[in-house]
Amino acid sequence: MEGLAETTIDYMLKLGAEFADLRLEASTGTNIVIMDGKTKTLTAQQESGCGIRAFAGGAWGFSSTSSPTVASLKAAASSAVKMAKVAKARAKHSFKIIGAPAVRKSEEYKCRRKPTDVPIEEKLVFALQQDKSMRVLDPRITSTNSRYDDLEVDRIVANSFGTLARTRERWVLAACSAYARSEGVLQRGHASVGSVGGYELTSTEGAVQLGAEAAAQALRLLDSKPVPAGKFTCILDSKMTGMMAHEAFGHACEADAILAGASVLEGRLGKKVADEGITLVDDPTIKNKFGYFSLDWEGVKAKKHVLIERGILKEFLHNLESSSRMGVKPNGSSRSQGYNSPPIIRMSNTYIGPGDWGKDELIEELKHGLLIQGSQYGYVEPAKGQFMFKCDEAYEVKNGEVKQRHRDASLSGVILEVLNNVQGIGKDFHLGDPGYCGKNGQSARTTDGGPHICVADMVVGGLA
């Protein structure tokens, strides 16, 4: 297949492409969803194909085929080059793709037990056990959802810089949601684990306890009072810190948003954008984490990105186009959901670095505020820097002591204001909130995290 890839690249250059790349992929995956003890989805799928891109004078042509044969690849390559040439006349920006070092390698992500070696019956039993562990805990648990995903991909990336790399990747994710109802109040608990690796993840303590953890959270929230609205000094746990890092700031650091005029960070490179204690990192090279990869989908070597260093905006996440247009080196931040989607700029493992406060010290210093634990979802406008996040739990803190537990809390604000209102950063650190990030109709695996951080003047509201 490597020979076919290189032959196709050469063919595209002869047709007039200034730059050409392709991704040959063969994947095998499993998706299981259990709802209320019944199997809703049980899917084992196999897929293969090739995505091909051609570049000419500021314009791209993209074509894909599900039949990776010599004839099909030649037809798709010809189509991609023709589209690039047609689009060239209407390109808004004329530029050339800046070269990246050629990569010649073959790698395989390590695991102890390949998902493809595990019978689907065993995977189903795992998902059913998690669902059952939620339903038997308490009669107030009225609805449950257990999910198991795995994927193995054999990917060849080739481009006209001379890159020819083969990666065999594997990952597994499991998640549980429990819904508890009492006296007209409905609350949700959620827990997930995920990593690049094999089926051995399902034997870890975190995976075995997923259902119990989700159900216990839902039940705790039933016994909680609605959160008071207003401005509070808040201590955010690692999950909420991670959501802040990813949703509120990470997306604004994606260079395609900068070029589109859709980021509040446009024109702020090298300037202070946060408290000097804040260091924000996106690092795809952290092995086994759900956002791990060593080579991006354009064939550029992955690297650690220090987006904010001691409050100063240092860099953006780039693909080949954005780095070429902005005159910087590509930094390996391009991925796609599958061979039939073009690669776009994506985050990986995103976190705020630790500080020097103990968690207990942060709480002891707080006279009146809230301790925020967990995150459910969020909405962000990167162009304005505005956000709204739904929290799992909120605890009142009075004179350094944790008091009443609250439910239905949300946080909102402007990220540049919030990150400049940081009063303390914990030395504890946890990077372990895996999930899927959506962008432009594509999904990518990511992980978020950080330490506990204390932030003044956060706007807190209640959600029904």
Question: Above 90 in pLDDT, residue 382?
Answer: no
Mean pLDDT on 78-102: 92
Average pLDDT, the chain: 95
Select from 282, 345, 283, 285 the least CA-distant residue to 109: 285
The percentage of the chain sitting over the pLDDT mark of 90, rounded to a whole number, equals 93
The percentage of the chain sitting over the pLDDT mark of 70, rounded to a whole number, equals 100
Mean pLDDT on 252-256: 97
Give the integer Cα–Cα distance in Å for 328 and 98. Answer: 9
pLDDT, tens only, 159-195: 999 999 999 999 999 999 999 999 889 999 999 999 9
Beta-carbon count within 10 A of 334 CB: 25
Mean pLDDT on 251-265: 96
Give the integer Cα–Cα distance in Å for 291 and 440. Answer: 18
Question: Above 50 in pLDDT, residue 464?
Answer: no
Give the integer Cα–Cα distance in Å for 281 and 275. Answer: 15
Give the integer Cα–Cα distance in Å for 449 and 451. Answer: 7
Question: Above 60 in pLDDT, residue 245?
Answer: yes
pTM of the full structure = 0.94
**According to the model, what pLDDT value does residue 463 have?**
53
Q: How confident is the model at residue 315 (pLDDT cuts 50, 70, 90)?
A: very high
Select from 23, 341, 337 the least CA-distant residue to 156: 23
Task: Indicate the class that CATH gives domain 2-223.
Answer: alpha beta
Can you spell out the DSSP letters for 100-150?
----EEEEE---SS-GGGS-HHHHHHHHHHHHHHHHTT-TTEEEEEEEEEE
* Weakest-pLDDT range from 74-88, 91-105, 275-289: 91-105
Show me where the domains of the chain are located.
2-223, 226-462
**According to the model, what pLDDT value does residue 93 have?**
86
